Amino acid sequence: MNSMDPLTPPYIPVPEESREINRETRPDSAPAQHKGRGARVFGLGVLGLLVVGLAFGARNHYEQNLAVAAAAEAQRDLTPQVRVATVKPSGYDAVVSLPATTSAFAVANIFARASGYIDKREVDIGDHVKKGQLLADIVAPELDHQIAQAEATLGQLKAALQQAQANMELANVTWKRDEPLVKQGWVTPQQGTTDVQTLKADQAAVGVAQANVNAQDAQLLVLHQQKLYQQVVAPFDGVITQRNVDVGSLVQADATSGTFMFTLMQGNVIRTQVYVPQDQAFGLHPGADAVIRVPEIPNRTFPGKVTRIADALQPGSRTLLTEIDIPNPDGVLTPGIYCTVELHIPQAAASVTVPADSIIFNASGVHVAVVQNGVAHLRKVNVARDLGTEVELRDGVKQGESVILNPSVDLAEGAKVKTAVDRNT
């Protein structure tokens, strides 16, 4: 190599020891340097990937924030559409079911009105009888004797009356004959006075005799009426529910201790008494519909009408006594049956109904959402009755207002809404 070549660095002599050391270390340092460069390259690659990932994540987060903000702004600007229904007047009657017991429309305890022995007994317990039908026949021979004696006495009194009338006529004729003679002086005034007083006495005797005849006639009528009482007849159509006498039984006719013979109940009409609570009594009136149900006859109802009500509530129970007459032509119902009375009572106060799915229950109570001019307003209401698909309200809303169906849980007072009428209401 030319030492004067400008491209060649100047030659610097190296000591022999240094050349020995370099020869010993150079082959071993080359692999270490190679490994260091690979680690640096790998670290730089990982760092680059990390930076790219962070940048990509930041971009996605930013885009999501933008989307959320846009959705929130759109939600604020969105006016939800809701289904509404119209508040209707309540056309329902209050239906009240109360326990009751049936009773006969009329009940008669039949007592003996004539003393004697039972000669015939034509009926027994459970027999249906008609008005005027013979129930029993009483034999009283002494009554026949009393009637015969009274008739004979009446004959005597009538004869006495005829005698008194004849005496009165004689006295009248005598006075008419003597009266002109007394005036002319042919008969003494004393005789004239006697004739006048005799006529008056005979007239009084006729009055007494007539009164005796009338009294005896009345007594005879009493005896004949007692004779009629020997035949015991039904006072109305009904069924015999009690029998206390038999053939040969001695019965006594007395106003206080007469013999109790039969009990007769009228069963073609059944009377039911029920006590209606005060909160349901207002609005109840005669003519209101009623339905009788008997647990032992599940497939049949017995319709009737309220026939009479008391004018005052019971002070102890605050209930109104109500009577219902139930036609019972086939006699299926009998007195003394436990039953339930379903009364259809017209509403005394006006009320409205809304669909059941418009009711809102929360911590503040019961509400409905009313729409007015596109704005929702929460109204607190009082529920009168739950009718299933509808709810009857006492107050809170008015007829004709629109209520929201199935309102959302986040519906707030004053929220703007669009309405769509529900076709099912």
Same domain, 118 and 227: yes
- How many domains is the chain built from? 2
The pLDDT, as a whole number, for residue 25 is 45
The pLDDT, as a whole number, for residue 3 is 44
Rounded CA-CA distance 87/403 in Å is: 7
The arithmetic mean of pLDDT across residues 118-127, rounded, is 93
Rounded CA-CA distance 242/238 in Å is: 12
The arithmetic mean of pLDDT across residues 101-127, rounded, is 92
DSSP 3-state percent helix, strand, coil across the chain (nearest 5): 35, 35, 30
Judge whether residue 168 has pLDDT over 60.
Answer: yes
Same domain, 86 and 173: no
Determine how β-strand 94-111 pairs with β-strand 338-345. Answer: antiparallel
Judge whether residue 266 has pLDDT over 70.
Answer: yes
The pLDDT, as a whole number, for residue 421 is 66
Same domain, 166 and 228: yes
The pLDDT, as a whole number, for residue 140 is 87
Judge whether residue 72 has pLDDT over 80.
Answer: no
HSE-up (13 A, CA, CB side) for residue 308: 6
Q: Is the dihedral of CA 402, 408, 409, 412 positive or negative?
A: negative
% of the chain residues with pLDDT over 70 = 85
- Average pLDDT over the chain reads 83
The enclosing H or E element of 276 equals strand 260-277
Same domain, 196 and 87: no
The pLDDT, as a whole number, for residue 38 is 66
Same domain, 85 and 117: no
* CATH number of the domain residue 358 falls in: 2.40.420.20
Judge whether residue 419 has pLDDT over 70.
Answer: yes
The arithmetic mean of pLDDT across residues 6-32, rounded, is 48
What ranges in 125-188 are assigned the alpha helix state H?
A: 141-184
Rounded CA-CA distance 262/113 in Å is: 13
Rounded CA-CA distance 74/80 in Å is: 12
Q: Is the dihedral of CA 109, 113, 116, 117 positive or negative?
A: negative
Spatial contact of 144 and 138, defined as CB atoms under 8 Å apart: no
The pLDDT, as a whole number, for residue 70 is 63
- Give me the residues paired with residue 284 across strands: none
State the burial class of residue 333 (Cβ atoms within 10 Å of its Cβ: 0-12, 13-18, 19+): buried
Q: Pick the last residue of a domain from 208, 233, 258.
A: 233
Return left, alpha or beta for 244; rule: phi > 0 is left, psi -120 to 50 is alpha, else beta.
alpha
The pLDDT, as a whole number, for residue 79 is 75
Judge whether residue 112 has pLDDT over 80.
Answer: yes
Higher-confidence residue: 279 or 21? 279
Rounded CA-CA distance 399/347 in Å is: 16
Banded model confidence at residue 195, pLDDT cuts 50, 70, 90: confident
The pLDDT, as a whole number, for residue 8 is 45
Same domain, 219 and 141: yes
Higher-confidence residue: 347 or 279? 279
The pLDDT, as a whole number, for residue 71 is 64
Rounded CA-CA distance 331/302 in Å is: 12
Instruction: Specify the range with the lowest mean pLDDT, choosing from 141-150, 278-287, 374-383.
Output: 278-287
201-220 pLDDT, tens digit per residue, is 999 999 999 999 999 999 99
Would you say residue 226 lies in a domain? yes
The pLDDT, as a whole number, for residue 5 is 47
% of the chain residues with pLDDT over 90 = 36
Higher-confidence residue: 2 or 256? 256
Instruction: Specify the range with the lowest mean pLDDT, choosing from 36-50, 179-193, 201-215, 264-278.
Output: 36-50
Judge whether residue 237 has pLDDT over 60.
Answer: yes
Spatial contact of 251 and 245, defined as CB atoms under 8 Å apart: yes
b/e map 114-130, b = 16+ CB within 10 Å: bbbebeebebeeebebe
Higher-confidence residue: 244 or 226? 244
Banded model confidence at residue 349, pLDDT cuts 50, 70, 90: low
Same domain, 85 and 171: no
Same domain, 85 and 169: no
Would you say residue 34 lies in a domain? no
Would you say residue 405 lies in a domain? yes
Rounded CA-CA distance 288/278 in Å is: 17
Same domain, 148 and 216: yes
Determine how β-strand 88-89 pairs with β-strand 352-355. Answer: antiparallel
- Comparing C-alpha atoms, which of 407, 403, 397, 396 is closest to residue 421? 403
Would you say residue 15 lies in a domain? no
| 137 CB-near residues (< 8 Å, 6+ apart) | 118, 119, 120, 122, 230, 231, 232
Judge whether residue 327 has pLDDT over 80.
Answer: yes
Report helix, strand or coil for 99: strand
Rounded CA-CA distance 311/314 in Å is: 10
The pLDDT, as a whole number, for residue 77 is 55
User: pTM for the full model?
Assistant: 0.54
Spatial contact of 370 and 413, defined as CB atoms under 8 Å apart: no
Same domain, 134 and 190: yes
- The 8-class DSSP code of residue 287 comes to T
Same domain, 87 and 177: no
Range of the domain at 356: 81-91+350-421
Rounded CA-CA distance 153/215 in Å is: 11
The pLDDT, as a whole number, for residue 280 is 78
Token pair, residue 379, equals: 């109204």
Rounded CA-CA distance 200/62 in Å is: 144
The pLDDT, as a whole number, for residue 1 is 42
90-108 pLDDT, tens digit per residue, is 766 678 889 999 999 999 9
The enclosing H or E element of 22 equals helix 16-77
Q: Pick the last residue of a domain from 233, 257, 289.
A: 233
Higher-confidence residue: 173 or 388? 173
Same domain, 87 and 126: no
- Comparing C-alpha atoms, which of 76, 75, 82, 93 is closest to residue 368? 82
Place of tokens 């005669």: 286
Q: Is the dihedral of CA 137, 138, 140, 144 positive or negative?
A: negative
The pLDDT, as a whole number, for residue 34 is 55
Judge whether residue 152 has pLDDT over 90.
Answer: yes
The pLDDT, as a whole number, for residue 22 is 47
Banded model confidence at residue 75, pLDDT cuts 50, 70, 90: low
Would you say residue 48 lies in a domain? no
Would you say residue 225 lies in a domain? yes
Would you say residue 255 lies in a domain? no
The pLDDT, as a whole number, for residue 292 is 93
Would you say residue 87 lies in a domain? yes
Report helix, strand or coil for 357: helix
Q: Pick the last residue of a domain from 233, 262, 294.
A: 233
